[in-house]
Structure 1
Amino acid sequence: MSLADKVLAVNNDLPIRTQQPVHSGKVRSVYWLTEADSRRLIAEKGYNVAADAPLAIMVISDRISAFDCIWHGEGGINGVPGKGAALNAVSNHWFKLFREQGLADSHILDIPHPFVWIVQKAKPVKIEAICRQYITGSMWRSYAKGEREFCGIRLPDGLQKDQKLPELLITPSTKGVLKGIPGVPEADDVNITRQNIEDNFAAFNFSSREDIAHYEKLLKEGFEVISRELGKLDQIFVDTKFEFGYVADAEGNEKLIYMDEVGTPDSSRIWDGPSYREGRIVENSKEGFRQLLLNHFPDPDILLNKERMAEREALARDNALPTEVLMDISRTYVGIAEKITGEKLVLSDNPKADIIAILRDEYGLVD
């Protein structure tokens, strides 16, 4: 079996019973179950949700996106072997710890296969909640140009690149294009302040103003849990993105939960501790791939400049990356997942066939 067969690149063509179009994101595809199947699974499996809660199957892929583009390799390899399983394994590990330590639940109800989650429909908070413990990346680039205010927070002069910040910073941005909010541009992924959120909490999908403090608490506690656990492995949790939403439990009580993914190499920067102490940055996250792309192409401005999106898309479409580059990324993802979970990542030779068999035989979702 070829390497290309082991990569799940296309995940929106599975024969899962649904009456709605499949929603396909950069990495995951979502299949909304029929009302009958949702009710049947809730009853059969005893999920702690309302009897009529809409459920979905979320299937991760091995696709890799960076700078808002999907990248591919030579020989028809349209993803990174092991990446999907690694991301899900890491997220599952942190979500479980959050629940065990009394922080909050997640949107995941069941994990039929390493690539698959059964999730409940959530009302998403329209914020990419970004936490930073070190000054690096886009924040450092702006700081180096003289900017000192980030999302309403003022930073002191004299900080050095990759230095630990005086305190954990919450630098939120918009998730999706939000219209009609004073002082907030109508664009995806623009920085916002806590004041913006407080003044317009309903526009960001918060149920109450008090929930802003609750989301910040979950953010800081979640960051602290992951940072502490990674510290035991001598890895540094640099920064990350959290997403939140609302769901109702079986009794109809609304609760704020973690959703999307948490603490993964895709949504976070993770540095190797020993290397950092020697003055070197070794990335155990997607940031290593981003840096590789910036060094690989002669004009890195194409990747950084949003005005050059058409050129960037052409770059991703027309350039097959060397197989060794994809395998190097694979080793990073699989390595950090095994380090975090303490378990060997078992990869399937044909993940698509395995997923279909499990969803058909154990969940009755494939005709």
Structure 2
Amino acid sequence: MSHADTVLAVNNDLPIRTDKPVHSGKVRSVYWLTEEDSRRLIQEKGYPVAPDAPLAVMVISDRISAFDCIWHGEGGLRGVPGKGAALNAIANHWFKRFKEQGLADSHILDIPHPAVWIVQKARPVMIEAIARQYITGSMWRAYSKGEREFCGIELPDGLSKDQKLPELLITPSTKGILKGVPGVPEADDVNITRQNIEDNFAAFNFRSAEDIGRYEQLLKEGFDVISAELARLDQVFVDTKFEFGYVTDAQGKQKLIYMDEVGTPDSSRIWDGERYRNGEIVENSKEGFRQALLHHFPDPDILLNKDRMGEREALARDNALPEAMLMQVSATYVGIAEKIIGEKLNLPDNPKAEIVQVLRDDYGLID
């Protein structure tokens, strides 16, 4: 069996019963269940949500995106073997830890298969909640050019690349394009300050100004739980992105929860602790793939310059990457997942057939 056979690249064509279009993101596809199926499952499975809560099936893929493009490899490799299972296993592990520590809930209600979540509909807060413990990446690039203010936070002089910051910094950016918010450019993924959020909390989908402090608290608590456990594995939790949203609980109350995934190599930078102490950066996250891409192409500016998006999309479409490059990403993701969960990762041979079977036999969602 070739590596290409085990990859779940297309995940928006499963025969799951739905009366809405399938939403396909960079990595996950979302199938909104019919009202009837949602009600039935809430009752049958005893999910702790309002009886009429809309549910969805979220299927993760093995696609790999970087620099806002989807990449593929030689030999028909349309993704990275084991990547989806690794991401879900890691996120599931942290959400379980959050629950044990009494942190907020997530939108995940059930995990029928390593590549599948059943989630409740959440109203997303329109913020990419980013926390940084070390100065690296885009922040270092800007700092090295003399910038000292990030998202309204003043940084001291004299910091060096990849060093630990004096404190955990929250440097939010926009999720999606927000229109008509004073002081906030109408573009996806632009840095914002806490003041921007306070002045326009409703535009960011917050219910109240108090909830800004609540999201920051949840971000810090979540970061600390993950950081402490990774430190025990001698891994450095460098920075991460969380997403938050509101759901209605079984009592009809609105609550702020964690959404999407947390603490994964897609949404975080993770460094090997021993190598870091020896002055070397070894990435146990997608950052390693980003760096490999920058070295692979003769003109890395195409990948870094947002004004060259057309060229960048052509680069991703027209270039099959060496198989070894994607297998290196596979080894990184599976390796860090097995470290975190403390056991071998269960990698399906034929993920699609398994998903169809479990959703048909145990959930009645496939005719």
Q: Give the structure-2-normalised TM-score.
A: 1.00
Match of 1:116 in 2: 116
Tell me the alpha carbon deviations over residues 13-53 of structure 1, each in whole angstroms, 9 at most, x when there is no partner: 00000000000000000000000000000000000000000
Match of 1:283 in 2: 283
For the pair 1:226 / 2:233, whether they are aligned, the reply is no
Match of 1:144 in 2: 144
Q: Secondary structure at the match of 1:184?
A: coil
Tell me the alpha carbon deviations over residues 104-134 of structure 1, each in whole angstroms, 9 at most, x when there is no partner: 0000000000000000000100000000000
Q: Which amino acid aligns with 2:351?
A: P
Structure 2 counterparts to residues 270-349 of structure 1, below 5 A? 270-349=270-349
Cα distance in 1 for partners of 2:323, 2:291 equals: 17
Q: Secondary structure at the match of 1:44?
A: helix
Runs of 4+ in 1 over 3 A off after TM superposition: none
Tell me the alpha carbon deviations over residues 266-292 of structure 1, each in whole angstroms, 9 at most, x when there is no partner: 000000000000000000000000000
Tell me the alpha carbon deviations over residues 244-270 of structure 1, each in whole angstroms, 9 at most, x when there is no partner: 000011111111000010000000000
| Cα displacement (A) at 1:343 | 1.5
Cα distance in 2 for partners of 1:185, 1:125 equals: 17
Match of 2:192 in 1: 192
Q: Which amino acid aligns with 1:343?
A: E
For the pair 1:169 / 2:182, whether they are aligned, the reply is no
Match of 1:102 in 2: 102
Match of 1:260 in 2: 260
For the pair 1:134 / 2:134, whether they are aligned, the reply is yes
Tell me the alpha carbon deviations over residues 149-201 of structure 1, each in whole angstroms, 9 at most, x when there is no partner: 00000001110000000100000000000011100001100000000000100
Cα distance in 2 for partners of 1:230, 1:292 equals: 24
Match of 1:242 in 2: 242
Tell me the alpha carbon deviations over residues 339-358 of structure 1, each in whole angstroms, 9 at most, x when there is no partner: 00101101111000000000
Q: Secondary structure at the match of 2:52?
A: coil
Cα distance in 2 for partners of 1:186, 1:296 equals: 32
Cα distance in 1 for partners of 2:96, 2:248 equals: 19
Match of 2:217 in 1: 217
Match of 1:79 in 2: 79
Q: Secondary structure at the match of 2:142?
A: helix
Q: Secondary structure at the match of 1:75?
A: coil
Cα distance in 1 for partners of 2:55, 2:263 equals: 24
Unaligned runs of 5+ in 2: none
Tell me the alpha carbon deviations over residues 49-97 of structure 1, each in whole angstroms, 9 at most, x when there is no partner: 0000000000000000000000000011100000000000000000111
Q: Secondary structure at the match of 2:75?
A: helix
Cα distance in 2 for partners of 1:339, 1:205 equals: 36
For the pair 1:35 / 2:44, whether they are aligned, the reply is no
How many residue pairs get aligned? The number is 367
Match of 2:355 in 1: 355
Cα distance in 1 for partners of 2:309, 2:50 equals: 43
| Cα displacement (A) at 1:2 | 2.5
Tell me the alpha carbon deviations over residues 181-236 of structure 1, each in whole angstroms, 9 at most, x when there is no partner: 10000110000000000010010000110000010000001000000000000000
| Cα displacement (A) at 1:240 | 0.2
Cα distance in 2 for partners of 1:8, 1:210 equals: 42
Match of 2:183 in 1: 183
Cα distance in 2 for partners of 1:268, 1:95 equals: 15
Q: Which amino acid aligns with 1:163?
A: Q
Cα distance in 2 for partners of 1:27, 1:218 equals: 25
Q: Secondary structure at the match of 2:49?
A: coil
Q: Secondary structure at the match of 1:239?
A: strand
Q: Secondary structure at the match of 1:354?
A: helix
Cα distance in 2 for partners of 1:24, 1:167 equals: 37
Q: Which amino acid aligns with 2:72?
A: H
Cα distance in 1 for partners of 2:116, 2:232 equals: 29
Q: Give the CA RMSD over aligned residues.
A: 0.5
Q: Which amino acid aligns with 2:204?
A: F
Q: Which amino acid aligns with 1:125?
A: V
Q: Which amino acid aligns with 2:349?
A: D
Q: Secondary structure at the match of 1:189?
A: coil
Match of 1:154 in 2: 154
Cα distance in 2 for partners of 1:168, 1:6 equals: 39
| Cα displacement (A) at 1:100 | 1.1
Cα distance in 1 for partners of 2:316, 2:214 equals: 40
Q: Give the structure-1-normalised TM-score.
A: 1.00
Q: Secondary structure at the match of 2:258?
A: strand
